Amino acid sequence: MGPRVPLCRPDVGEEELAAIREVFQAGSLSHGPQVVEFEHAFARLIGVPHAVAMSSWTSAAFLVCAYLREGFGPGEIILPSYTFVASANVVACAGLTPRFADVDWASHEVTVETLEPLVNERTRGIMVVHFGGRPCDMPAISEFAARHRLPMIEDSAECLGAKVGGRQAGSYGIGIFSFYSTKNITTGEGGMVVTADGQLADWLRIRMAHGVRKGSFTRDGAAQRWFRNAVAPGHNFRLSNFQAAMGLVQLSKLQQMNSRRRAVARAYDSALRGLSGVERPDLLPDGEHSFQMYVVRVPATERDRILTRLIEDGVEASVHFDPPVHEQTAYASPAVRLPVTERLSRSAVTLPISSVQTTEQTEFVIDSFRRAMRP
């Protein structure tokens, strides 16, 4: 028997099954028209000319980092340590060096103030991480990146449908989204790069498909459709056609699903306001949160006890992120100290949230959390 309230559940049903069934019946399981349609619809949503679908956020981000490595040479990418380790892994695996920045206590995100001291002659780019559905202060960070002539990656894995400065998160730099099952839309696994740079989009399409410029679907009308010429070394990071079909349905429901997430967040906000020892998520005054997660901060000395009591009560609460990346074995260095990140990682509690979470489940989480906060 699972928890009474799971941390997150995907919002999928008959519409997604019907879309997948249609692809199965057509027989175009790998590449196909749904992939192209999904990319076009996604680009329109974010407000950029190009979207490139891939097998995961990780494969997409790795190729973007490899593109920067090829174009600018070896060096450092500045990114927060307060993130999932995949953000650093793609940098390192592409032959670049992660340089960890501290974050702001209220937002859990990098700011111009935390980025500025780390820029040097070895800096090859910046990766911001939009935390839990809250966009970073992209107008300010974009101006900062432009001033230093640095490419900017937006790790938007947790931020689909969120806005800042009147624009979609992911539209300011090179946006990379995730379709993992806990995200705002899901295809099981999957990712998407969005960009205004046609050269980058073309480079990605070649490297994600074995270095061959055109895939099997786009060869259908060619006179020599069997002709496959690799113009560069590449990988197989393609999204399947049936995943894209599912993604199209999910994308059509995004506004509705995010609205339900916001309703859960409002209920939490109202119930936890004024509760001693609890700090609620910080909201941007000119932004729109997509609430992929709902993370509160509690006293560090009490966090593990509170978390254990929630889990024992049937509430699948969790922590994002402990330990932070700079304290994990693969990246640990005694020279790196990030006091805000370290304090956050020991104070954060992630409460359940999803678009299928019922009012009764939300009320149970609130009651359980109140009980857990008592000594």
Catalytic residues: 183
Beta strands across the sheet bearing 97-101: 50-54, 191-195, 174-178, 152-155, 123-129, 76-80, 97-101
Joined tokens for residue 107: 């937002």
In the chain, alpha helices (H): 14-26, 33-46, 57-72, 86-93, 112-115, 138-147, 198-207, 241-252, 254-272, 303-312, 339-345, 359-373
Runs of H (alpha helix) within 137-231: 138-147, 198-207
Measured distance CA(38)–CA(41) in Å, rounded: 5
Asked whether the beta carbons of 129 and 81 are under 8 A apart, the reply is: no
- Spatial distance between the Cα atoms of 347 and 39, rounded to a whole number of angstroms: 38
| Cβ density class 185-194: b for 16+ within 10 Å, e for less | bbbebbbbbb
The C-alpha atoms of residue 180 and residue 27 are separated, in whole angstroms, by: 24
How far is residue 218 from each of residues 4, 36, 55, 189, 228, measured CA to CA in Å?
Answer: 47, 10, 18, 23, 12
- List the one residue out of 246, 211, 181 whose CA is nearest residue 41: 246
Extract the tokens encoding 220.
């259908």
For residue 69, the number of C-alpha atoms closer than 13 Å in the C-beta half-sphere is 17
Own/partner pairs, 25-33, CB within 8 angstroms, 24+ separation: 28/217, 28/241, 29/240, 29/241, 29/242, 30/216, 30/238, 30/240, 30/241, 31/215, 31/216, 31/217, 31/238, 31/240, 31/241, 32/217, 32/241, 32/244, 33/217, 33/241
The partner residues of 361 in beta bridges, in order of sequence, read none
